[in-house]
Structure 1
């Protein structure tokens, strides 16, 4: 299974509450299937993230970590920065070594993002999914309020929200076999 499909399935299953707003619980059998699926997806995500750490380590130029300028990070995170520290920060940021490091970092991040996109599209991860039945979908429908909006992610315009009926429809499309 591709990592983007895993992420999508995880995001929808994570929206299923264990009980309704009125306190009616999700059926135990359905709850167990959802939890086992989430655990399986998390394992695949861990594997993907491990792959990405390996790719990042191989893409990193020799000596990259030694040039990381921890003082810049320290000063940028500081809330009450003195005028002397501001001058120090500006001096570092205008240095040739720092500008070279910034370019190296941009190149690394661009290459890493390209590698990540390729890995997302090309790599399949084994996931032991538990199929949901029509009865499971009925149980999920009993705990998801259809008039409530759920955030399913973000894009450049902000949060993406869908209502409970859309959540149920997507879960039905993705899981009912």
Structure 2
């Protein structure tokens, strides 16, 4: 986190609404991409960002380590998205390219997201954060509140499962 963002977090924790607004604006595109990768729907993703913003605003004074604001915010978003998926039983990710409203993904990414349906939720979460959103393993461990070694193990197992699925389907995976 850069010094400017750290200062904004400190100001937001003291009740500065403008500072909080600037922080949310800084991360809104990243939040949208993550929410969309979970919910596969523009409106649901926007609702998730709205709820995440509300929860973060309400609880920012409880944030103990301001330098982890971003991971804290993403954890709130992921928890909300997971709750929505469980409540609404939206267990299927991207199925038809015509349904895709987020043009950030190309065809190869769409196919990869479709494969994630077969993984455990934690494995899917790690793959999405690592390869679709470029988070480091350390950041993923903080977001998921798991040891970095656990995240590495789960990543290895998830990649192995995906490779086996591709081999079974006759895909060329090197």
Tell me the TM-score normalized by structure 2: 0.24
Higher strand share: 1
Higher helix share: 2
Relative contact order: is structure 1 or structure 2 higher (C-alpha 8 Å, sep ≥ 6)? 1
Tell me the TM-score normalized by structure 1: 0.24
